[in-house]
Amino acid sequence: MKRPVHAAVAALATITILAGIAVAQSSGTLRSLRGGEVDETVPVDDVHRQMEGRVVRNYRQQPPLVPHSIDQYQMDLRTNQCLSCHDWTNAGDRGAPTLSMTHYLDRAGNQLDTVAGTRWFCNQCHVPQANAPALVDNIFQPSNSN
């Protein structure tokens, strides 16, 4: 009883594969996702560099954007290299902006001496900026431009 079922499934799979191949061959020429022929060399965009300096915020409560490269920064469960400059104990000596006091509150709103675990991974909210074209159109207008 199992052999007829296996034979029927194998026959159906073979027919489906052959039909898929026929459709693929009749669909036209092969095109690459980058728009050129497969063997054509397509020029790439320039390398976009990190923007230096502070970037204006577009809305109230927007996390500040990172105005410097963080490529080599270590950020894991034990180490957060951002804090070497931005923690309240170091910021004055380093000339860096101090973290907001909200970063030192636990979930219950209790004041802590160290950065709360919920704020440990800075790049969840704070992102570096590059002078690169937008990947998608953006029609966002800042709230004060009405």
User: For the domain 53-131, what is the CATH code?
Assistant: 1.10.1130.10
In the structure encoding, which two tokens stand for residue 69, read together? 């490269």
Domain boundaries, the chain: 53-131
- What per-residue confidence (pLDDT) applies to 47? 66
pLDDT above 90 covers what percent of the chain? 30
Which amino acid is located at 71 in the chain?
D
Candidates 79, 139, 88; CA nearest to 113 is: 88
d(CA 106, CA 77): 17
Q: What is the pLDDT of residues 69-82, one digit of tens each?
A: 888 889 999 999 99
pLDDT at residue 85 in the model: 92
Check: CB of residue 129 under 8 Å from CB of residue 55: yes
- pLDDT tens digits, residue range 92-128? 899 888 999 999 999 999 999 999 999 999 999 998 8
Please give the single-letter amino acid code of residue 107. Answer: R
Q: What digits encode the pLDDT tens for the residues 35-66?
A: 767 777 777 766 666 667 777 787 888 898 88
> How far is 108 from 77, CA to CA, in rounded Å?
22
pTM listed for this prediction: 0.56
Q: Do residues 111 and 105 make contact, with C-beta atoms less than 8 angstroms apart?
A: yes
Q: Could you tell me the maximum CA-CA distance found in the chain, to the nearest angstrom? A: 82
Rounded distance, CA 143 to CA 76, Å?
35
